Amino acid sequence: MQTRRSFIQKTAATTAFVGLGGFSLSSFNKPNDKHITILHTNDVHSQIEPLPHNHYKYPGLGGFARRATLVDTIRKQNPNTLLLDAGDIFQGTPYFNYFGGELEFKLMSMLGYDVATLGNHDFDNGIDGFVTQLPNASFDFVSANYDFSNTVLQEKVKPYKIIIKNGIKIGVFGLGVELEGLVSKRLYKETKYLNPVEIAQDITRELKEIEKCDLVICLSHIGYYYKNNPDKVSDLILARNTKDIDLIIGGHTHTLLPKPTIEKNSIGENVLINQCGKSGVYMGKVDFYFSKDGSKTAKGKSIIV
C-alpha cells in the first residue's frame, strides 16, 4: 500500500510532467468510456458442486451453477466481459475420475468461458485424455511455452488468442509449469516445456508491436511465488522480467491474494498479478477503463492506489 506521502509525490510528479506534455488528464470514469471486464478462475479442480458443508475452510462455497449466475449478472452490467481460466480444470472430485473432464468442459462452455490455459493436472488422463474431451469445450486453450508440435495437441492449442471487444484489442497468451517431475512423461508425452520468461518476452513483443493489442493478458499456471525456492520461475519473476503485460492471471500455487499484487516490470511500469485460491470459491474481476479519445498513446504511466 502506498503511503499518502508517496501518493502526493507521485501526483506532483505527474502534474509536472503533464505540464510539459501540454494536455490534460482525466481519471474519471466518463459514461462514454470503453470498459472491459475480465473475470477469471484458476485451479477449479473439478469442483462441479459447491464444496461439502463439512469442508475445513470453505464449507458450502463455490459451484458452477452459482458461478453461472454471477457471470450472467456481470455480463448484463457489461457485455464487454471476458471469462478466463488459468488451468487445473481437472482433478479433485470423483466427477473427473468417472467422467474424465467431460462435465467440466461442458459447464465451462455453458458459462461462456472465452480462453483457458492448461495446468499440470489437465494432463492427468494423459494428453490423449485431454484431447478426447476437447470437443466438449466451445472455448479455446492457449499455451505459448508448451511446444505441442509432436503431439495430438498440435494446432489445437495456440500460443495466444486475440479478442476484440468494443473496439479494444485484447491479446491473451498462456504459460504452463514445468511438467518434468510433476507429471509422468507417459502422460505428457512429447510436450516440450520452454522457458516461460523468454517465451513471454517474444509473445508480448508480437502482441504489442505487431498485433497492436490494447491489452495484454497472461494466463499463467507457473505459480505465484516459491518462498522456499525464490529463484524458481513464478509470476513475480515473470512480471519483473517482461514488459507490455497488463495483467497476469495466475494459478498452480492455489494462492488467494487478498488483493492483486502490483509489480514493476523490466522498464519500471506496473503489472497487475491476480490469483484467487482454488476450487472456484472465488472469482477474480478486473475492470479496465479506456478513454474514448483515440489520439493519445501511453508512454509513461503512474498508478495511484
Partner 1 sequence: MKKYAFLLCFTLLFLSACKKETPAQLYKIEAKQIITDSTTKEKQSVTDVINPYKKQLNEQLDAVLCYTSSDLTRTDGALESSLGNLMADICFEQATPVLNKQINKSADFVLFNYGGIRAPIAKGNITARNAFEVMPFENELVLVELTGSKVEELLNYLAVNKKAHPVANITLQIKDNQYYNVHISNKTFDATKNYFILTSDYLQEGGDKMSFFKNPVSLHKTSYKIRTALIDYFKKTDSITPKLDNRFTYAN
Near partner 1 in 28-87, by CB under 8 A: 29, 33-34, 48-50, 60-70, 72-73
What nine digits make up the cell of 141?
Answer: 486453450
Quickly list DSSP for 89-121: -S-SSHHHHHHTTHHHHHHHHHHT--EE---GG
Element (H, E) at 226: none
From 129-137, 147-155, 232-240, 295-303, span contacting partner 1 (CB under 8 A): 295-303
CB of 57 to partner 1, least distance (A): 13
Please identify which residue in 131, 163, 168, 194 interacts with partner 1, judged by CB under 8 A: 168
CA distance 147 to 145: 6
Which residue is it, cell 467422467? 99
Residue 295 makes contact with partner 1 by CB under 8 A? yes
Q: Is residue 14 part of the contact set for partner 1 (CB under 8 A)?
A: yes
Binding mask 252-271 for partner 1 (x = CB under 8 A): ----xxxxx-x-------x-
Cα–Cα distance between 75 and 73 in angstroms, integer? 6
Stretch that binds partner 1, among 138-146, 199-207, 232-240, 278-286 (CB under 8 A): 278-286
8 binds partner 1 (CB under 8 A): no
Query: Kind and range of the H or E element at 271?
Result: strand 270-274
Binding residues for partner 1, rule CB under 8 A, total: 82
What sign does the CA torsion over 213, 214, 218, 219 have?
Answer: negative
Closer to partner 1 at the Cβ: 111 or 157?
111
Q: How far is the CB of 149 from partner 1 (least distance, A)?
A: 26
Residue 212 as a binder of partner 1 (CB under 8 A): the answer is yes
Tell which residue, 229, 305, 252, 268, has the closest CA to residue 89.
Answer: 252
Cα radius of gyration rounded to whole Å, the chain:
20
184 binds partner 1 (CB under 8 A): yes
All three cell numbers of 270: 506496473
143 binds partner 1 (CB under 8 A): no
